[in-house]
Amino acid sequence: MLHFFHKKSFDKEKNSTFADVYNYKIKTMVRRFIFFFLIFCVNVQAQKYLKAVITQHDGTHINCLAKLPDMSETGIRYKMDDHSKTQKIKSKDVKSVCYYLRGDKTFEIEFIRYISFFEMSYYRQQQVSAAEWIEVLERGDMTLYFTQETSRTGQRKTFIYHYFVKRENEDYATEIAYVRSKNGFLIYRMEAGDYFSDTPGLEKKIENRDEGYTAKDILNIVKEYNTLKKQQML
């Protein structure tokens, strides 16, 4: 198991908010996620139903207007148009839902179980979640998922961004990296495990922590992995 930690501090004299720090310091995937999240919030506030495509496990597609579900919601509410009655499809029957935002932006979610890692004072343990709706960032031989959480201690907020990967034949997605704010620092952690062992060159770069191959680069790493896997099949 590969464990990588990386911290970056920010200038407290700038009196920056956490979001400001991200925009100022991080020219990476995290910045992109916050941008999409803000766009998505604007759309959700503007209308209850968004243009969407619901893909079922049998490959059937439903082009409709759909509501964004809560993370643990057991069904997707949708209607065929503004004048149609609301229908509901069970989450377990849905492969994914792709929402269309402003312009050409999309937001895809999938109802899956995942293995997350949470830290205690003196030990770590593994926990398998119940199925939840989480964001899909990259599809391929390895699919990358993303979710976020916040916690508050007194006046201090902690933000944690979790990244999971899953191959098609696996039952659960597995947490592989996270970004966490703590005491004015951004802490990156990556646990690559065996996930890149079938692409030795890429695995070596990750193990050596080469530039562009650390936790904050997880999206590009997964994209490169999927490209290499395609080339291996040629």
Residue 37 confidence class, pLDDT cut points 50, 70, 90: low
Residue 47's CB is within 10 A of a number of other CB atoms, namely 11
Q: Is 18 exposed, middle or buried (0-12, 13-18, 19+ CB in 10 A)?
A: middle
Tokens representing residue 54 in the block: 């619901």
As a whole number, the mean pLDDT across the chain is 78
Residue 77 · residue 116 · CB < 8 Å: no
Rounded distance between C-alpha atoms, residue 30 and residue 24, angstroms: 12
Question: Rounded to 5 degrees, what are φ and ψ at 216?
Answer: -70, -10
* pLDDT score for 137: 95
Residue 106 has pLDDT above 80, yes or no: yes
Rounded distance between C-alpha atoms, residue 114 and residue 33, angstroms: 20
* pLDDT score for 104: 81
Nearest one of 172, 178, 73 to 117, comparing CA atoms: 178
Rounded distance between C-alpha atoms, residue 44 and residue 30, angstroms: 21
User: How do the residues of the chain divide into helix, strand and coil, expressed in percent and rounded to 5?
Assistant: 25, 45, 30
Tokens representing residue 168 in the block: 């098609």
73-98 pLDDT tens trace: 889 999 999 999 999 999 999 999 99
Q: In sequence order, what are the beta bridge partners of 53?
A: 63, 98
Which has more confidence, 145 or 190? 145
166-208 pLDDT tens trace: 998 898 999 898 888 776 677 888 887 788 999 999 999 998 8
Which long-range contacts link 18-26 to residues 24+ away (Cβ below 8 Å)? 18/157, 18/159, 18/181, 21/186, 22/186, 25/186, 26/186, 26/216
